[in-house]
């Protein structure tokens, strides 16, 4: 928009060659030290100072004269006879200009408030016509008595006679354009008489009047009809009008914004600052209780405060999703820029020549008119649409209610959908619109267990029946005060006000619902689900945080084997953050080669002779030392970095098999879900084995019960079948700790069952329960023709007991701890008889 003003200023006739003939002198003047007794009229050149000190931006004396002297008169050498010395008009008690000729003659011009005469110029300038050519000038002195402030002295220039008419005409054209635009603003603003923006219109009309007065006063246009206004009176009136326009602009903003977009306390602060700015402006104009010298700093401070209020209000309105604030920013941004430039001038940070001043004035006028048109059109349309909207309201009310219910309802269960859940969650977090703080409530996220398997085995009709049954059961468990929604294919959410009995009641109701039988087409099955619970505000003040924490609690239930309810605690967030941190550090560890494999033998329990080895991943962390998957294992199944680490671990195991066939006859490697994601993943692993020339039977694939129970069971089963058919033995690791169905042992190609070490460690500590379980698994394995390996054997007593129970293969520290390949030969294994 500044460019628009610049173009218009050029169109009214700003020739580049003319600008070159105007000589700027402001930076050529310096402060001249003069005796305190310098006479008011300064009649003789002998009484004027001959020394000149820089800089000239100083505080004027409270009572007395301040003199400025042209440091280098040679700058005037190009000026012909009849040239004009132009200076900004300041607030002074008296002003004397002395032009000393080379022949010793002195031209004296005196100015006083209200007595400028015809020596003013458009653009807020005072003019002194000099008869002598510039080459005949020896010195120029500017004297000011009781000067309020020297800050507005931004323009001192020498102008040839031929450019005076052009400069005055340019300012007249700019001021006329500005006045015409502002009058247009007033007309359009007054055309709209009713509507929701009426308070903003009133303030905007006041702002327009003050802005028009400011533009005509600051450019001396009012001096055409009131000559006494030029000079110090115009300066004082201009400062007062700037304060008034600043205050009115703040009130326009406060009235324009929607009620919800700005808090009440902010509106009060903004209105108070606007009132203070307006009062100081009136006081400045009246000269009471102090003059402009004292009031000018207050105007700058209050103007800055009003600017800060506008910027802060815009930020608050944007954060509260106001739509009107964008209209304000688009239309008022040039005005805000003008205001900021005015403040910068007040603090002596910016100096503007005539070209920039004209451009900014035109930009101000054009954009003000544009905003007025936009505002008037907007309010006019709102006023016209109001009647039509009122007529259509009753007709649309019923339809909108039906659409709203459909948009917020899950068609299968009749419960709320994700949109309804999010809206209800936001309402409960925000509390009552009247300002009542929100009541504490609970959020439960519920996942149906094994829905995909039910759909695959019994059909989608059975799955839908299950979803409807669980939805009805959850709604009954939540009670009339709860809000239940289906937010995904197998996901539900419950919002329930929290009170003393709420948690125990919902937990008991959900537990009673667990395992309920569902009948469909003569087939019956039990439904189970997993639930995570988080409370507001204790577990999260914001909706996104609360949902994330409830989801962490739900993940914990799934990690423990599904079917249950878990309440969020901060350790889950710490664990999640730790997993994310490990993932980030693992990416760096990969490039530094920090991951390695340790090998532990699987031995014959009678002799301790190894029959194979298990490759165990280790991380030599630079800060935490040697880490096992018990610390970072969750990272392996989560994200690109975990997959990269697992990929490298498999490569290291295959390289070890290739390079050490005698030392490593067979190696077991733990695979994760992404490694067994369907037949394609299995074929990729076989290609890696074949590329190294390894016999497939030497690589044993180990999977855990959690992986078997994962939602992608079909893909895992297909991958294991491909690998088993290719000759790779398959081992079910940590058997007995999960909830694997025995049917999986029948349909999945497992060759080995590895009994989890937790049973071995408690073999003599739980009144025979672990012994019974181990005996059962050994018998089960023998009955199914599968090998059984007992993990975690650490004592001789355990070995003898297991041997007596019929165990033939074992693994544990009693025989050998996991060690690097290079240390495996030195570690050896215990040879027992």
- pLDDT tens readout for residues 105-151: 889 999 998 889 889 988 889 999 999 999 999 989 888 888 877 66
Same-domain check for residues 533 and 625: no
Reduced to 3 states (helix: H, G, I; strand: E, B; else coil), residue 671 is coil
- Asked if the peptide bond before residue 349 counts as cis, ω within 30 degrees of 0, the response is no
Domain stops at, among 108, 126, 159: 159
Reported as type and span, the H/E element at residue 662 is none
Same-domain check for residues 175 and 319: yes
- The answer to whether position 392 is within a domain reads no
Same-domain check for residues 429 and 364: no
Adjacent-strand bridge partners of 753: 732, 788
Mean pLDDT value of segment 6-29: 58
Same-domain check for residues 529 and 603: no
Mean pLDDT value of segment 242-257: 86
pLDDT at residue 8, as a whole number: 42
Q: In angstroms, how far is CA 297 from the centroid of its own chain?
A: 37
* Domains held by the chain: number: 4
pLDDT at residue 53, as a whole number: 63
pLDDT at residue 58, as a whole number: 57
Given a cut of 70, whether residue 62 has pLDDT beyond it is: no
Confidence of residue 2 (pLDDT cuts 50, 70, 90): very low
Same-domain check for residues 338 and 429: no
- The answer to whether position 833 is within a domain reads no
pLDDT at residue 583, as a whole number: 77
Contact yes or no for 525/517 (Cβ under 8 A): yes
- The answer to whether position 9 is within a domain reads no
Given a cut of 90, whether residue 723 has pLDDT beyond it is: yes
Reduced to 3 states (helix: H, G, I; strand: E, B; else coil), residue 236 is helix
pLDDT at residue 389, as a whole number: 62
CATH of the domain at 766: 3.20.20.450
- The answer to whether position 107 is within a domain reads yes
Q: Which residues contact 333 (CB under 8 A, 6 or more apart)?
A: 1, 367
Distance of alpha carbon 499 from alpha carbon 739, whole angstroms: 35
Contact yes or no for 6/372 (Cβ under 8 A): no
- 536-551 exposure pattern, b = at least 16 Cβ within 10 A, e = fewer: beebbeebeebbbbbb
Confidence of residue 11 (pLDDT cuts 50, 70, 90): very low
Contact yes or no for 358/171 (Cβ under 8 A): yes
Distance of alpha carbon 102 from alpha carbon 248, whole angstroms: 53
Rounded to whole angstroms, the maximal C-alpha distance in the chain is 131
% of the chain surpassing 90 pLDDT: 21
Mean pLDDT of the chain: 80
CATH of the domain at 273: 1.20.1070
Question: At CA 750, angle to CA 744 and CA 753, rounded to 5?
Answer: 95
Q: Which residues contact 648 (CB under 8 A, 6 or more apart)?
A: 590, 595
Reduced to 3 states (helix: H, G, I; strand: E, B; else coil), residue 206 is helix
Mean pLDDT value of segment 425-437: 77
Given a cut of 70, whether residue 44 has pLDDT beyond it is: no
Q: What DSSP state is assigned to residue 41? A: S
Same-domain check for residues 131 and 210: no
- The answer to whether position 402 is within a domain reads no
Half-sphere exposure of 240 (CA within 13 A, CB side): 20
Given a cut of 90, whether residue 616 has pLDDT beyond it is: yes
Confidence of residue 366 (pLDDT cuts 50, 70, 90): low
Same-domain check for residues 152 and 123: yes
Confidence of residue 726 (pLDDT cuts 50, 70, 90): very high
Over residues 519-534, the pLDDT tens digits come to 767 777 777 888 888 8
Q: Shortest CA distance to 653 belongs to which of 620, 697, 614?
A: 614
Query: In terms of residue numbers, what domain contains 656?
Result: 586-827
CATH of the domain at 497: 3.30.70.270
Reduced to 3 states (helix: H, G, I; strand: E, B; else coil), residue 601 is strand
pLDDT at residue 7, as a whole number: 40
- Asked if the peptide bond before residue 775 counts as cis, ω within 30 degrees of 0, the response is no
Q: What is the CA radius of gyration of the chain?
A: 44
pLDDT at residue 832, as a whole number: 45
Given a cut of 80, whether residue 169 has pLDDT beyond it is: yes
pLDDT at residue 421, as a whole number: 86
Task: Record the tokens describing residue 376, joined without a space.
Answer: 């008037």
Adjacent-strand bridge partners of 596: 618
Mean pLDDT value of segment 598-621: 92
Same-domain check for residues 210 and 241: yes
Given a cut of 70, whether residue 687 has pLDDT beyond it is: yes
Distance of alpha carbon 488 from alpha carbon 127, whole angstroms: 79
- The answer to whether position 16 is within a domain reads no
% of the chain surpassing 70 pLDDT: 78
Task: Record the tokens describing residue 553, joined without a space.
Answer: 């609690």
Given a cut of 80, whether residue 80 has pLDDT beyond it is: yes
Distances (CA, A) of 355 to 112, 463, 707: 28, 77, 76
Contact yes or no for 84/127 (Cβ under 8 A): yes
Question: Residue 731: exposed, middle, or buried by beta-carbon count in 10 A (0-12, 13-18, 19+)?
Answer: buried
Contact yes or no for 447/554 (Cβ under 8 A): yes
Task: Record the tokens describing residue 353, joined without a space.
Answer: 């020549």
**Model pTM above 0.75:** no
Same-domain check for residues 485 and 521: yes
Domain stops at, among 99, 132, 159: 159
Contact yes or no for 292/236 (Cβ under 8 A): yes
Given a cut of 90, whether residue 76 has pLDDT beyond it is: yes
Same-domain check for residues 654 and 777: yes
Q: No. of H helices and E strands in the chain?
A: 25, 27
Given a cut of 60, whether residue 267 has pLDDT beyond it is: yes
Contact yes or no for 305/273 (Cβ under 8 A): yes
- The answer to whether position 534 is within a domain reads yes
Over residues 274-316, the pLDDT tens digits come to 999 888 888 888 877 766 667 777 877 888 888 888 889 989 9
Distance of alpha carbon 173 from alpha carbon 179, whole angstroms: 10
pLDDT at residue 172, as a whole number: 87
Reported as type and span, the H/E element at residue 737 is none
- The answer to whether position 136 is within a domain reads yes
Distance of alpha carbon 174 from alpha carbon 361, whole angstroms: 7
Tokens 């007025």 -> residue: 372
Distance of alpha carbon 633 from alpha carbon 488, whole angstroms: 29
pLDDT at residue 332, as a whole number: 66
Residue with the larger pLDDT of the pair 332 and 265: 265
Same-domain check for residues 134 and 199: no
Over residues 445-496, the pLDDT tens digits come to 888 887 776 776 677 777 777 788 888 888 887 787 788 888 888 888 888 8
Of the listed ranges 52-66, 524-538, 571-585, 653-667, the one predicted with least confidence: 52-66
Q: Which residues contact 389 (CB under 8 A, 6 or more apart)?
A: none
Over residues 317-365, the pLDDT tens digits come to 999 888 778 877 776 666 666 656 655 655 555 555 666 677 667 766 7
Q: In angstroms, how far is CA 103 from the centroid of its own chain?
A: 71
Distance of alpha carbon 725 from alpha carbon 423, whole angstroms: 53
Distance of alpha carbon 384 from alpha carbon 192, whole angstroms: 11
Q: Shortest CA distance to 68 belongs to which of 31, 38, 96?
A: 31
Distance of alpha carbon 476 from alpha carbon 482, whole angstroms: 9
Q: What DSSP state is assigned to residue 169? A: H
Confidence of residue 543 (pLDDT cuts 50, 70, 90): confident
Domain stops at, among 378, 409, 440: 378
CATH of the domain at 149: 2.60.40
Same-domain check for residues 183 and 97: no
């Amino acid at each position: 928009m500044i460019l628009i003003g610049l173009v218009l200023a050029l169109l009214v006739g700003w020739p580049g060659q003319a600008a070159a003939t105007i000589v700027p002198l402001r930076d050529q003047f310096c402060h001249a030290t003069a005796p305190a007794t310098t006479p008011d009229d300064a009649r003789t050149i002998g009484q004027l100072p001959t020394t000149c000190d820089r800089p000239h931006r100083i505080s004027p004396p409270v009572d007395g004269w301040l003199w400025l002297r042209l440091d280098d008169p040679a700058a005037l050498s190009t000026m012909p006879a009849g040239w004009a010395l132009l200076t900004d008009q300041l607030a002074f008690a008296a002003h004397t200009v002395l032009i000393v000729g080379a022949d010793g003659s002195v031209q004296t011009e005196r100015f006083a408030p209200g007595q400028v005469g015809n020596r003013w110029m458009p653009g807020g300038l005072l003019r002194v016509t000099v008869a002598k050519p510039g080459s005949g000038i020896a010195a120029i002195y500017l004297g000011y008595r009781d000067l309020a402030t020297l800050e507005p002295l931004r323009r001192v220039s020498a102008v040839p006679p031929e450019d005076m008419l052009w400069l005055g005409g340019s300012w007249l054209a700019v001021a006329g354009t500005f006045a015409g635009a502002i009058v247009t603003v007033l007309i359009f603003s007054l055309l709209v008489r009713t509507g929701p923006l009426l308070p903003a219109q009133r303030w905007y009309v006041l702002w327009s009047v003050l802005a028009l007065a400011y533009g005509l006063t600051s450019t001396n246009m009012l001096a055409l009809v009131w000559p006494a206004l030029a000079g110090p009176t115009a300066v004082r009136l201009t400062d007062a009008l700037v304060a008034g326009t600043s205050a009115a602009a703040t009130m326009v903003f406060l009235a324009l914004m929607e009620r919800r977009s700005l808090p009440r306390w902010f509106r009060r602060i903004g209105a108070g600052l606007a009132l203070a700015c307006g009062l100081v402006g009136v006081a400045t104009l009246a000269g009471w209780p102090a003059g402009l010298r004292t009031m000018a700093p207050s105007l700058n401070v209050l103007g800055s405060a009003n600017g800060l209020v506008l910027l802060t209000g815009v930020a608050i309105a944007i954060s509260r999703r106001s739509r009107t604030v964008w209209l304000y920013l688009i239309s008022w941004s040039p005005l805000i820029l003008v205001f900021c430039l005015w403040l910068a001038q007040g603090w002596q940070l910016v100096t503007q020549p005539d070209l920039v001043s004209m451009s900014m004035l035109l930009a101000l006028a054009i954009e003000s008119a544009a905003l007025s048109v936009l505002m008037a059109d907007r309010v006019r349309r709102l006023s016209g649409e109001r009647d039509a909207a009122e007529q259509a309201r009753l007709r649309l009310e019923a339809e909108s209610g039906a659409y709203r219910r459909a948009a917020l309802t899950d068609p299968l269960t009749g419960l709320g959908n994700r949109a309804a859940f999010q809206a209800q969650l936001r309402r409960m977090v925000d509390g009552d619109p009247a300002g009542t703080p929100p009541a504490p409530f609970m959020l439960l996220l519920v996942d149906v267990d094994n829905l995909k398997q039910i759909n695959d085995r019994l059909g989608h009709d059975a799955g839908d029946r299950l979803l409807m049954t669980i939805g009805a059961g959850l709604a009954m468990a939540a009670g009339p005060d709860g809000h239940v929604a289906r937010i995904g294919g197998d996901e539900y959410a419950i919002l329930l006000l929290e009170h003393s009995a709420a948690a125990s009641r919902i937990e008991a109701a959900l537990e009673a619902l667990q395992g309920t039988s569902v009948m469909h087409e003569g087939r019956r099955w039990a439904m189970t689900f997993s639930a995570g619970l988080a409370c507001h505000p204790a577990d999260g003040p914001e909706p996104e945080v609360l949902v994330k924490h409830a989801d962490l609690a739900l993940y914990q239930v799934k990690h423990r084997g599904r079917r249950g309810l878990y309440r969020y605690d901060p350790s889950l967030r710490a664990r999640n953050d730790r997993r994310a941190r490990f993932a980030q550090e693992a990416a760096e560890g990969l490039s530094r080669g920090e991951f390695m494999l340790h090998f532990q033998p699987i031995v014959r329990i009678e002799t301790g002779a190894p029959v194979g080895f298990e490759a165990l991943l280790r991380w030599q962390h630079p800060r935490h030392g040697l880490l096992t998957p018990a610390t970072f294992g969750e990272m392996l199944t989560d994200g690109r970095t975990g997959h990269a680490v697992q990929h490298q671990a498999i490569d290291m195991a295959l390289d070890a098999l290739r390079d050490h066939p005698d030392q490593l006859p067979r190696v077991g490697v733990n695979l994760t879900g992404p490694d067994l994601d369907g037949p394609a993943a299995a074929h990729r692993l076989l290609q890696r084995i074949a590329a190294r020339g390894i016999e497939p039977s030497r690589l044993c694939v180990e999977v855990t019960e959690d992986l078997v129970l994962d939602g992608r069971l079909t893909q895992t089963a297909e991958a294991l079948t491909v690998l088993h058919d290719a000759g790779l033995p398959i081992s079910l690791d940590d058997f007995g700790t999960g909830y694997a169905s025995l049917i999986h042992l029948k349909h999945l190609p497992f060759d080995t069952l590895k009994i989890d070490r937790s049973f071995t460690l408690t073999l003599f500590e739980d009144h025979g329960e672990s012994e019974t379980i181990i005996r059962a698994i050994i018998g089960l394995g023998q009955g199914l023709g599968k090998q059984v390996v007992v993990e975690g054997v650490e004592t001789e007593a355990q070995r003898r007991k297991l041997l007596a129970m019929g165990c033939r293969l074992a693994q544990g520290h009693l025989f050998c701890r996991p060690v690097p390949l290079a240390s495996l030969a030195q570690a050896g294994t215990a040879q027992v008889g």
